[in-house]
Structure 1
Amino acid sequence: MRPGTPAVLALGANLGDRAATLRAAVGALEATDGITVEAVSTVLETAPVGTVPDQPDFLNAVVLARTDLTPHALLAAAHAVEAALGLDRSTKVPDGPRPVDVDVIAVGDVVLDADGLVLPHPRAHERDFVLGPWLELDPDAVLPGPRGGRVADLLRRLHAGDERDGRP
């Protein structure tokens, strides 16, 4: 068995050189002590979803990693990557344009809602741009928690119209 807990992170960007930013985010995650990047999905271009109209399309990808960090320390590392790549969380507009997002989707089978962290990510089950790339990397993937299940089944339901597709 490989050391560390499996973790799923979702990357997104719709400002600046989106592809370069996603590559830099992966590189920054790889350079973080306690995180080992195991796989990176194909990059998808997706239309923005939510309450802010008239913004550029997003590039999205999913990263499978292993981590020795606690879930909160992994979130802090994700926020550090975002800050290093130009995201100011104090002025971030929900559903708005951003240079980068690094969302912690799942950490092993942890289910929690404490101190600013909800795991699994509360909208992962309704996001095609998370589920599709995750399934590409791991056909047996399972999203833990009450809204979870086999990622393939969640994606199938989403495509059948049983869920909505949202963006942070």
Structure 2
Amino acid sequence: MNAFLGLGGNLGDRGFYLREAEERLARLGVEIVQASGIYVSKPWGGIAQPDFWNMVLRVRTSLEPLELLRVCQDIELGLGRERQIHWGPRTIDIDILICDNIVSAGPELILPHPYLEERAFVLAPLREIAPELILPSGRPLREVQGRGEVWPGDGA
């Protein structure tokens, strides 16, 4: 299965958490085909918190979508992710954005990600690694801007 994953975090050493999540995915059988650069964005949800660092990975895996979700959640937990406040601060967040052409609305996983076309912090790094991508909605990625301010980070 081919997929795109969105990674982000805004607590602690953000660069470390992004790199470590990427390495842990690879160790657990998720082949990293391509990685975007790091982008910085303001947080969503109206909660005062630090800026997020975000990136997108193009991956290949033999895992089914729910298995991939569990791997991502285990990595988040292992890197100190605490789910206390919706859209609150976090060390790492790993979202499954797209899995092949799978469309599902299960209780644990909605594909494609329900906010995919709204989030500039996902669309900018996705555009970097897959500029010709046609989104599951049928819209070309290059035509979708999303909401929010996002800018290239230095990756420090």
Q: Identify whether the pair has TM-score above 0.5, normalized to the shorter chain.
A: yes
Q: Are positions 1:60 and 2:50 aligned together?
A: no
CA distance in 2, matches of 1:37, 1:27: 9
Residue in structure 2 matched with residue 49 of structure 1 by the alignment: 44
CA distance in 1, matches of 2:133, 2:148: 19
Flag structure 1 segments of 5+ consecutive residues without an equivalent. 159-163
Per-residue deviation at 1:142?
A: 2.1
CA distance in 2, matches of 1:43, 1:138: 15
* Amino acid in structure 1 at the alignment position of 2:59: A
Residue in structure 1 matched with residue 127 of structure 2 by the alignment: 135
Residue in structure 2 matched with residue 161 of structure 1 by the alignment: none
CA distance in 2, matches of 1:19, 1:26: 11
Per-residue deviation at 1:28?
A: 0.7
Residue in structure 1 matched with residue 152 of structure 2 by the alignment: none
* Amino acid in structure 1 at the alignment position of 2:15: A
Among 76, 80, 87, which residue is 1:82 paired with? 76
Among 130, 154, 161, which residue is 2:144 paired with? 154
Residue in structure 2 matched with residue 115 of structure 1 by the alignment: 107
Q: Are positions 1:12 and 2:8 aligned together?
A: yes
- Tell me the TM-score normalized by structure 1: 0.84
Q: State the SS of the aligned residue for 2:144.
A: helix
Runs of 4+ in 1 over 4 A off after TM superposition: none
* Amino acid in structure 2 at the alignment position of 1:51: G
CA distance in 2, matches of 1:42, 1:30: 17
Q: Are positions 1:100 and 2:84 aligned together?
A: no
CA distance in 2, matches of 1:142, 1:131: 12
Q: State the SS of the aligned residue for 1:143.
A: coil
Flag structure 2 segments of 5+ consecutive residues without an equivalent. 150-156
Number of aligned residue pairs: 149
- Tell me the TM-score normalized by structure 2: 0.90
CA contact (8 A) 2:32 2:60 kept: yes
Q: State the SS of the aligned residue for 1:142.
A: coil
Residue in structure 2 matched with residue 22 of structure 1 by the alignment: 18
Per-residue deviation at 1:137?
A: 0.4
CA distance in 1, matches of 2:44, 2:33: 29
CA distance in 2, matches of 1:116, 1:165: 26
Percent of pairs with identical residues = 37
CA distance in 1, matches of 2:103, 2:135: 10
